[in-house]
Amino acid sequence: MSIQVFGIPVSRGIAIGRAVLVASSRVDVAHYFVADDQVDHEIGRLREARDIVARELEELKRELPPEAPHELAALLDVHVMLLHDESLTGATKVWIRERHYNAEWALSAQLEVLARQFDEMDDLYLRERKADVEQVVERLLRELAGTEGRAPGAGSSVQGARDFAGEDPLVLVANDVAPADMIQFKRSVFTGFITDVGGRTSHTAIVARSMDIPAVVGAREASRLIRQDDWLVVDGDAGVVIVNPSPIVLEEYRFRQRQSELERARLNRLRYTPAVTLDGQPVELLANIELPGDAAGALEAGAVGVGLFRSEFLFMNRGGDLPDEDEQFEAYRDAVLALKGLPVTIRTVDVGADKPLERMSQQELRHEHALNPALGLRAIRWSLAEPGMFRQQLRAILRSSAHGKVRSLIPMVAQMGEVKMIFDAIARAKQQLDVAGKPYGRVEVGAMIEVPAAALLASRFPKYFDFVSIGTNDLIQYTLAIDRADQAVEHLYDPWHPAVLQLIQQTIAAAGAAGRNVCVCGEMAGDTAFTEFLLAMGLRSFSMHPARIASIKQRVLRADTRQLRAQVLQVLESDHPQEDWRKLCGPTAQATKSLGS
């Protein structure tokens, strides 16, 4: 039977493929594809883990004190039996052999299948046996964690993955996927993503968008309603998922998929056309990247530089170990070299909130432990709390400037006291490099304007910083007191809110008056609903996912900022800016679905 599931559209386009369900409690087990010649090794890991766990259980049983209840020994017998049951380990091997999932992933996928079967049993006693299977899988996963898997590094491409993952495209379905896990799926075989939770500008959504893969988040019941291997249509424009579509519906979506591919190809022809408005205003279209491997794609998409390199993704998926200065330097240098002389803006780590570090979990700073993670030790606050680590990153950034044009960007500056500490740290990092005889060039320092306090003080920032970059994702979150990752308040997350627009306008005006460059690097920059509005507010620098550059460029080429200026001033005074902008600018403003609509 075909059903529809509704959620929040976060990454455009249509994806059609088979469901791969990942249990949320197991999203943080490694998920990667193994190459052809690794399949036997992976099956060997599974076998070895099974044998070890079986031995442990036998031993436990032998060591049971005589007074232990009889049921306990029987339970251990059941667990050993399950371990050897074809429906668990046998079927898991099939996932490894046919889909090339690593052992942990294959095991989670099979658990998902079995859990469903147990849930559907009428007999309560049998239904409760699900917990036994879960316990056995938990033991196996723990055992596997201690053995050597061969995961490709974060961001590395899984060569040939499409071939060995079988004919059918795959769509990932999960209750939630942390940004750290999501980044592992970059350049993987998934053609779409669906999660039960999440907001439009959560970092998970941002990473999905950066992959340019259709995605729907906040789809509430999706992971419960969808089963492994179901056929799915993900409509990333409308935020709809169609489960097991009828042939007619499928054909309709295949048609739409072809249409949007043609549209993309048409837009791509604009790649190398300079972005200049009708009234002759040159506009800088930059790329947001997460990993150095994204830099080449940014250039190909026609970016004239990187406006935001979210360096924190280098710090994730490392089991608590952090990249040292040389490793960071190499990553930054690779991005700089890939940009062939165009500027690369490296943001210092923005960890915390929905991007916790594994290391933080040890310090009880993880999302679930912190009282209010978005308001806690995040971004520059974390860097200043770890001065040694901060200087290490600054040294790595500075060193990369010996290979090209580098700017550094500081996230979440809110206090004037922080400004002094930032520049002291930079001075000290330079001094350390001088002593070590390591070369570096001139690196401009910019501040992200993403808390209202910073926007209100934007006129004071030019005294200290070379440029500013408006992080609208957080600026909206903090101005409106809306957790950007929480779908319960998603409807209140409004980029068109008059207060948000005023803060953006104020920042652009203050930077302009001081002759400082101002960029918008939040999701608004890549949303065509805002292009003319931002241009008319005076913005000339936009940084976005590379895949959005062509669409934004098309809007820039058709815009006349002189004509739009009066309307913008009027809309800034309005209590209902979105509606008024639509009325004043008609189809242009209505053409696309905005972040806030």
Catalytic residues: 203, 521
Q: Considering the complex, what minimum distance in angstroms separates the CB of residue 353 from Mg ion? A: 9
Could you say which of 42, 181, 196, 450 contacts ligand PEP (CB under 6 A)?
450
Scanning 269-307, the segments in alpha helix (DSSP H) are: 295-300
Are 161 and 100 in contact by the 8 Å Cβ rule? The answer is yes
474 lies in the binding site for Mg ion (CB under 5 A): yes
- Confirm if 407 and 343 have CB atoms less than 8 A apart: yes
Burial state string for 28-51 with b = 16 or more CB within 10 A and e = fewer than 16: ebbbbbbbeebbeebbebbeebbe
Give the shortest CB-548-to-ligand PEP separation in angstroms.
13
Which parts of 336-375 interact with ligand PEP (CB under 6 A)? 350
Closer residue to ligand PEP (CB): 99 or 209:
209
Instruction: Kindly state whether residue 522 participates in binding ligand PEP, applying the rule CB under 6 A.
Output: yes
Q: Which stretch in 59-67, 263-271, 398-406, 469-477 sits in contact with ligand PEP by CB under 6 A?
A: 469-477
C-beta of 158 vs 448, nearer to ligand PEP: 448
**Which of ligand PEP, Mg ion, none does residue 521 bind (CB under 5 to 8 Å by kind)?**
ligand PEP
Angle at 335 between CA 333 and CA 336, to 5 degrees: 60
Q: Where are the beta strands (DSSP E) in 250-357?
A: 284-289, 306-310, 344-347
Does position 450 interact with Mg ion (CB under 5 A)? The reply is yes
Q: CB nearer to Mg ion: give 190 or 467.
A: 467
Stretch that binds ligand PEP, among 52-60, 363-371, 456-464, 466-474 (CB under 6 A): 466-474
Cβ–Cβ < 8 Å for 391, 425: yes
Minimum distance between the CB of residue 147 and ligand PEP, rounded to whole angstroms?
Answer: 35
Instruction: Work out how close the CB of 254 gets to ligand PEP at its nearest, in angstroms, rounded to a whole number.
Output: 34
Number of residues located near ligand PEP, criterion CB under 6 A:
11
Minimum CB separation of residue 183 from ligand PEP in Å reads 12
Closest CA to 347 of 170, 471, 194: 471
In whole angstroms, the minimum distance from the beta carbon of 522 to ligand PEP comes to 3
- Separation of alpha carbons 532 and 589, rounded Å: 8
The answer to whether 527 contacts ligand PEP (rule: CB under 6 A) is no
| Angle, alpha carbons 218-220-223 (nearest 5°) | 110
Handedness of CA 205, 210, 213, 214 (dihedral sign): positive
Nearest to 562 by CA among 282, 279, 276: 279
Q: Which of ligand PEP, Mg ion, none does residue 196 bind to, with CB < 5 to 8 Å depending on kind?
A: none
From 144-152, 421-429, 467-475, 576-584, span contacting ligand PEP (CB under 6 A): 467-475
DSSP structure class, residue 370? S
Q: Which residues bind Mg ion (CB under 5 A)?
A: 450, 471, 474
